[in-house]
A = this chain, B = another copy of it.
């Protein structure tokens, strides 16, 4: 399957599944607000990573879909809360009004809260998994999402505004804020197979760490080089917020070089697992660096 076809097919399956969610919402406005953000046409990189990792460990077909939906719910909830006036105060997300602009702040807070609960509910009730698999998936997602992962990284990010970070501090921040969920994507994919090969597991972990970092460096580069129209949010917003970025610390060329080093590390991990340049994860590593938004 070509990468384009894979990404399109993953997006379509994911969005069809997400549309069915929140049927039990007690409030139609809450459901509307949740689906507004869930179905806003993101790249769906994390779900694609879950699926590609599940294929590497030869997991049962379609087993990737529930964990991919759960992970995307956590990602989307974090975007909704991140955009709030008290946080990044963003009006636009992917070219559309952010959730609190389209609805209101209270609804956006609750939509994020509901998404997080639903993510764990989805994993706990996914019938294709054994109790052991479901429990490991929930552990993985909760660790990646919580105070020792994404939310911890967001807190550090807020505390770092108007400060110059060291490169080590910046890497720690992003390993938590964006890296933890990306790494979790690979781990969730691997857990779709009850007894994955340990060499492949170690390779997926190394790949996840490297690709997470490469993703963030590319984000920092795009904030400087891409247009507002292509980004769907104001170009230069990191500079405006006086945030330390890979570009501000290393310069544009230095940042590009660091992204390439991470890509090389990701590729090396895949080679250890016996994968070649035709594999989806290899192509995804290229895609993460070459995307224009």
Q: Please report A residues at the B interface, Cβ cutoff 8 Å.
A: 22, 24-27, 29-31, 34, 77-78, 81, 84, 86-87, 104-107, 109-110, 112-114, 116-118, 120-121, 123-125, 130-132, 134-135, 138-139, 142-143, 145-149, 151-156, 158-159, 172, 176
Contact = CB atoms under 8 A, between A and B. Distances in A.
Contacts of A149: 26, 117
B143 A135 contact: no
Nearest to A112: B113
Given A25-B147, A106-B87, A139 B155 contact: no
A152 B86 contact: no
Most B Cβ at <10 Å: residue of A105, A121, A138, A145? A121
Given A27-B152, A30-B155, A87-B106, 19 more contacts: A25-B148, A26-B152, A30-B147, A30-B152, A81-B110, A84-B109, A87-B109, A107-B158, A112-B113, A114-B152, A116-B117, A117-B147, A118-B146, A121-B143, A124-B138, A124-B142, A130-B131, A131-B134, A134-B135
Contacts of A172: 26
Identical copies in the complex: 2
Contacts of A27: 147, 152, 155-156, 159
B131 A135 contact: yes
Given A152-B25, A153-B26, A155-B107, A117 B146 contact: yes
Contacts of A143: 121
21 contacts: A24-B148, A25-B152, A26-B155, A26-B156, A26-B172, A27-B152, A30-B152, A81-B110, A84-B106, A86-B106, A109-B109, A114-B146, A114-B151, A114-B152, A116-B116, A117-B142, A117-B151, A121-B139, A123-B138, A124-B135, A124-B138
Contact of A113 (B25, B26, B107, B151): B151
Contacts of A81: 109-110, 113
A25 B156 CA distance: 11
Contacts of A24: 147-148
Contacts of A123: 138
